[in-house]
Structure 1
Amino acid sequence: MTQVVVVGGGIAGLLTAVRLGERGHSVTLLEAQPQLGGMITSITVGDALVDAGAEAYAVRGGTVRALCDELGLAVAPPRGTSQLWWQHGSNPMATGVLGIPSSLDDPALEALSSDEYQLAAAEPQLDRAVGADSITLAELVRLRLGEAVLTKLVAPVTRGVYALSPEQMPLAEFAPQLLPKIAQTGSLIAAVAQLRGPGSAAVEQPVGGMFRLIEALRERFIAAGGTLHTNAAATRLERGASGITVCAADDLRFNANQLVLATAAQPAARLLATLGVELTPPPVRTIRSVILTAKKPEFAAHPIGSGAVVAEPDGVGAKAITHYSAKWSWAPEHVFRMTYPPHTRPTLEGAVGDLARLTGVPITAADITGFASLALESVPTRISPAERTAIREQASAAGVALVGAWLDGNGIAPAIAGVAQLLERDWVNSAPASAGDMPHTGSET
């Protein structure tokens, strides 16, 4: 029987454990934290159980929807419209890709002057070769739609969502389908329309929250006979005659014929170092947010729509705000989520001030029924394909497989792709056990 140990219970590790268990391997999953999920977690704020980490997934490609369907999870798109918040007021965010509109009738284009709009409106008549050699998102948008679309529509979105300027966003990584679609359709706006699809939402979530996906995968893993240990941080790896022993907290030891590390980069590097594999983990960034619940009748009018990206701070500390209750039909009223620059430490007083300024609703701390300040401190940055290949090869030479956001990219779809790549390995597809050897129920500690 192949004994597999998966270290790390985020989406990549949990899905890996599920797939290997369903293929007949004996799988033990170790998670350092009390709960599974990694960057997909839940929190109770006031009386509301909501997402503390990622709250939606990208619809593009259909891979995440397929997983939700497989797990029997109903999904729903967001309600309402998103805004760009400026000192003088708000205007709608473009319905498209990365702030690029999919139609010249998009209300977001009302933010442009007459001359700026005319420049953008001429884009479909440009030669399809214009911008074909663009490397970054900024270069492509500037060449085809003009500087105003870049600064007024695209840059606020990329800075608010990705904490990156369009100049820092290679098309090959963030929008690899745009250039081929322009070559096909002859227009950037037409390309975005095809990628987005008529009337379709760019994101959605399992009804009840993203954390429902983690709950469903955990149940699936246990049903497949897996063994789950939480509060079990792996501390070192020891090579043995038949594989690798994983040493964990509380003197726990787990023997693995095959080992999969699905942790963040730094823990993976520390564990690999105990086998003599020296890796320099890529840098990480912090995502800082605040969740507020409030009792205020004025919020029922959804004054900020489903949320807004702050395009012009003007004394506002938050980078973006989501009216969670307006965005997701199942959510209790009224839940707000605001993201902040990573170096800040938002307080209740500061968050209340930002909420009042962004929504236009007078509110004080007395109206707040719940407050949480959160930080995801190991969010990976992107690495090049060459770096990714080199890291995987180093680990593989030591008998260790790697999956996770720091290698595969942030988001559920990249996690699914990374797991699919692992499942192509020879040992995964070998016959691991006879029917009599297989466990019938899993366990959880």
Structure 2
Amino acid sequence: MATIILGGGVSGLLTAWHLHRRGEAVEVWEAEAEPGGWVQTLPWNGPGGEPGRVEKGPQGILVRAGSPADRLFKALDLPLNSPGKGARWVGKGDQLIPVPAHPMGLATSPLMSLRTKLRMALEPFQPVRPAEPEEGLFEFIARRAGRGMAEELLAPMVAGILAAPPHLLSVDAIPLLRKWESHGSLFNGVRKSGISHLMVPEGGMGALSSRLAERVPLVRTGLRATALEHLPGNRWAVSAPGHRAEADRVILALPAFEAAPLLAPLAPAASEALASIPYTSVKLWHSRHTPLMPFADGFGFLIDPPSGRPYLGTLVPSWIDRGCAPEGLMQLRSFIGDSTLWEDPRPEEPKDWAWTEARLKRWLPALAPALQTREEVSPNAIPRAEKGHRARVRTAVEALPKGLDWISNARFGPGVRDVIEGLEDWA
């Protein structure tokens, strides 16, 4: 079977890799000059020209021994590095509160009230609810761990991952939650699933995209599909400016908003469902400073939304990935959310470096001035699985004609790990 995959991000490259390993003829069309999509590692030299790098998308990936991600990196012969255990904080009120390294530490943590802690201790005894109807993320956590947990801790944790308020989201925004509950409780699910560790591929997350592209026989870059055509004999034609090709199957490994117009003439119901899936944009400020201890030896901090809007938090890439910053410098990555989602009190105010530095200084008053800064704007970077997402995805997939499929992190889950696990099942 000959397959054309539209989209050379991690979803498309990984799909092609699976099909190629099965012996199928496959080629990937990528609209941009380089494959990888959001999973690319970009060069950013130091103040004196020293080598350094930044991530366009995720900073790392959580990997558990024996998991699909673990199997993938081993199959690709791609080494993983672990930063180890580092401190994490949540910004609430006017202080950074340490996040306990072990769940048992929550019993004495000021992150939550005593009432919330007592209710959370009852989580293993809560009944399991059927998967249908779809549940909201806030409602799911409130049902399992208590409303206090959902109100006091969920928002900063979700903001740091999905850049969206939890009350908007479906539980499907974090696919692991339903899997854990299937073991009887979240506590049992985490215990039986095993511990995942934050890992970074040698050379950065972009090494995953590069290695996959190397293992796929044909990746065409600078080729944006503009039309699909159903041919006799259940074959398909794909057209792009100056190029046309035929195949037995076409897989759209594209964001929902890019797949929708291609499908509109052929599968209007699928197109409409995909067009209704919203995406979240974020702005990032990378900065380099002289190290500030103990902050430089930790993961970073997330902000409780009422204390930040729309500043969501700051990571420390120089701790997560030791090769990203020149020696002797601390590299930060600060996240600014979409003002329309976070009740920004001054949405008209430019979110420039001066604005971001002022927010950083609130939490890290001793932070030295930045030696370097770099702005990254990430439009429509994260699929926002709002309530009703499951039905939208189901409608889209079931309405596709034979020989067409849609693969995306909007289908399997927003993280690289979600895509790896979803595609292993799909393949």
Which structure would you say has the larger Rg? 1
Which residue in 2 is equivalent to 1:13?
12
Partner SS for 1:176: helix
Percent sequence identity over matched residues?
A: 21
2:211 equivalent to 1:212: no
The answer as to 2:54 corresponding to 1:50 is yes
1:350 alignment partner, SS class:
helix
Alpha-carbon contact 1:9-1:38 (below 8 Å) kept: yes
SS at match of 1:299: coil
Q: Distance in 1 between matches of 2:14 and 2:144?
A: 41
Partner residue in 2 for 1:285: 279
In the alignment of these two chains, the number of paired residues is: 396
Closer, same or farther: CA 82–340 of 1 in aligned 2, 3 Å: same
Query: Could you say what the CA RMSD is over the residues aligned between the two structures, in angstroms?
Result: 3.2
Q: C-alpha separation between the residues in 1 aligned to 2:410 and 2:141?
A: 28
The verdict on how the C-alpha distance between 1:300 and 1:34 changes in structure 2, with shifts beyond 3 A counting, is farther
Match of 1:117 in 2: 114
> Which residue in the other structure is 2:344 paired with?
none
Aligned to 2:332: 336
What amino acid is the match of 2:17? V
1:319 aligned residue (293, 312, 315): 312
In structure 1, distance between residues paired with 2:405 and 2:308: 47
The answer for the alignment partner of 1:235 in structure 2 is: 226
C-alpha displacement at 1:282, in angstroms?
A: 2.6
Deviation at 1:132, TM superposition (A): 4.4
Q: Distance in 2 between matches of 1:215 and 1:391?
A: 30
Q: 1:22 to 1:341 in 2, by over 3 A?
A: same
3-state SS of the aligned residue for 1:30? strand
Q: 1: distance between equivalents of 2:279 and 2:6? A: 22
Superimposed CA distance per residue, residues 107-162 of structure 1 (whole angstroms, 9 cap, x where no aligned partner): 772334xxx337624754x5955464595554565567555444333332123323
What does 1:228-377 align with in structure 2 at a 5 Å threshold? 228-241=219-232, 243-249=235-241, 251-275=242-266, 277-278=268-269, 279-280=271-272, 281-296=275-290, 298-299=291-292, 301-302=294-295, 305-311=298-304, 314=307, 317-332=310-325, 333-343=329-339, 346-364=351-369, 367-377=370-380
Question: Contact 2:116/2:149 (CA < 8 Å) preserved in 1?
Answer: no
Matched, 1:34 2:33: yes
Q: Cα distance 1:234–1:171, how it changes in 2: closer, same or farther (>3 A)?
A: closer
Instruction: Flag structure 2 segments of 5+ consecutive residues without an equivalent.
Output: 47-51, 340-346
SS in 1 for 2:110: helix
Counterpart mapping for 1:26-105 below 5 A: 26-47=25-46, 48-59=52-63, 62-79=67-84, 80-95=86-101, 102-103=103-104, 105=105
Which stretch shows the higher mean deviation, 66-75 or 42-51? 42-51
Letter in 2 for 1:12: S
**Structure 1 residues 299 and 196: alpha-carbon distance in aligned structure 2, compared to 1, 3 A threshold:** farther
Kept in 2: contact 1:120–1:145 (CA 8 A):
no
| TM-score, structure 2 normalization | 0.81
Matches of 2:304 and 2:94, distance apart in 1: 11
Q: How does 1:355-434 map to 2 (within 5 A)?
A: 355-364=360-369, 367-382=370-385, 384-397=389-402, 399-423=403-427
Gaps of 5+ in 1: 97-101, 424-445
Aligned partner of residue 54 in structure 2, secondary structure: strand
Partners of 1:195 and 1:35 lie apart in 2 by 40
Describe the SS at the equivalent of 1:111: coil
Q: Is the 8 A contact 1:246 1:254 kept in 2?
A: yes
Instruction: Say whether the 8 Å CA contact 1:93–1:108 is kept in structure 2.
Output: no
Is the CA contact (8 Å cut-off) linking 2:412 and 2:422 kept in structure 1? Answer: yes
Kindly indicate whether the alpha-carbon contact (under 8 Å) linking 1:401 and 1:422 is maintained by their aligned counterparts in 2: no
- How far apart, CA to CA, are the structure 2 residues paired with 1:263 and 1:381? 15
